[in-house]
Chain A
Amino acid sequence: MQGLDVAFSALSDQTRRAILSRLAAGEATVMELAQPFAMSQPAISRHLRVLEEAGLILRRVDGAKRPCRLAPDGITAIDQWLGVFRKALEANYARLDKVLATKTVQRKGKQ
């Protein structure tokens, strides 16, 4: 689960989430990504490095450019992890179903 810790830590920054949103629309260069932010390209590059190390984005070499795109595996891992939280809640509620069923039966039994 260490990979997910890194991924969530990477996601805890608003700029990095905005970068991911932009990349959801397709591949982009550092210059293109820097445009909407009041940030230097080196600052954006640092954010990209964090996202890359977290396994959330992939970069390829295209001459002097290193365009970025979303890493499907990383995004899927986060989705699955939310699924775990969901299942833990569901386990509690499944227990509550049983408690409620017992109470309802008791109540009906008394009538």
Chain B
Amino acid sequence: MTMTKMTLKTEGDKHIVVTRRFEASPEEVYRAHTEPSIIQKWLLGPDGWTMPVCVSEARSGGKIRYEWSDGKGKGFYLTGEYLALEPFRRIVHVERMHLPDPTPDNHVETTFEQDGSGTLMTMRMTLPDANTRAAMLATGMEHGMEASYVRLEAIL
């Protein structure tokens, strides 16, 4: 059931669109995307990684800073800024990874719509160009997405 709920597609040259349904209210899903103590529980990536630092100032102009660690001295971080927030419907922000050089800005619009007893989340990412989009996808791979893949296969 969980595997069929998400869609991921590239759109045109610069966009990536992800949709996912959650069995919770738009308010709860919105808060899971904006409140540091909740973000730290799920936005983690590979097995064994944690997010020791999570700054999420959920207001227009507020700062975002996520720091991930593998607990063995390896890590990387992401910074960003909130551009617009409409509780509990819509979040617009920009983000960039630091590896350690910053990647080009990823502009992200995330919406939360009531869908029966749950919530439909739509995340639309806009990269500066196709090259950046390919590089962004590739970066995720380098940072152990293969481990996530293996772990998920184990669950299935």
Chain A residues packing against B (C-beta within 8 Å): 1, 4-5, 8-9, 11-14, 17, 81-82, 84-101, 103-104
- Interface band, chain B: 35 or more
Residues of A within 8 A of B2 (CB): 90, 93-94, 97
Residue of B nearest to A11 (CB): B134
Q: Confirm or deny: B99 has a beta carbon within 8 angstroms of a beta carbon on chain A.
A: no
Q: Tell me the chain B residues, 100-143 only, with Cβ under 8 Å from chain A.
A: 130-131, 134-135, 137-138, 140-141
Q: Tell me the chain B residues, 19-45 only, with Cβ under 8 Å from chain A.
A: 20, 22-24, 28-29, 32, 38, 41-45
The answer on a CB contact under 8 Å between A87 and B43 is: no
Residues of A within 8 A of B20 (CB): 93
Q: Confirm or deny: B18 has a beta carbon within 8 angstroms of a beta carbon on chain A.
A: yes
Bound: A81/B8 CA distance, A: 12
Residue of B nearest to A90 (CB): B6
From B8, B22, B135, B148, contact of A82 by CB (8 A): B8
Known: A95-B44, A97-B23. A88 touches B145 (CB 8 A): yes
The answer on a CB contact under 8 Å between B43 and A92 is: yes
The answer on a CB contact under 8 Å between A85 and B24 is: no
Q: Which of A82, A87, A99, A101 has the most CB of B within 10 A?
A: A87
Shortest distance from the beta carbon of B52 to any chain A beta carbon, whole Å: 17
Shortest distance from the beta carbon of B38 to any chain A beta carbon, whole Å: 6
A-B contact pairs, 23 of them (CB 8 A): A1-B141, A4-B141, A5-B138, A81-B137, A82-B10, A82-B137, A84-B141, A84-B145, A85-B141, A85-B145, A88-B149, A90-B6, A92-B45, A93-B6, A93-B22, A94-B2, A94-B152, A96-B22, A96-B32, A100-B23, A100-B24, A101-B23, A104-B24
Residues of A within 8 A of B44 (CB): 92, 95
The answer on a CB contact under 8 Å between B134 and A86 is: no
Q: Confirm or deny: B151 has a beta carbon within 8 angstroms of a beta carbon on chain A.
A: yes
Residues of A within 8 A of B138 (CB): 4-5, 8
Shortest distance from the beta carbon of A65 to any chain B beta carbon, whole Å: 30
The answer on a CB contact under 8 Å between A88 and B148 is: yes
The 9 closest A-B pairs by CB, nearest first: A88-B145, A95-B42, A100-B24, A12-B131, A88-B148, A96-B42, A91-B148, A86-B8, A8-B134
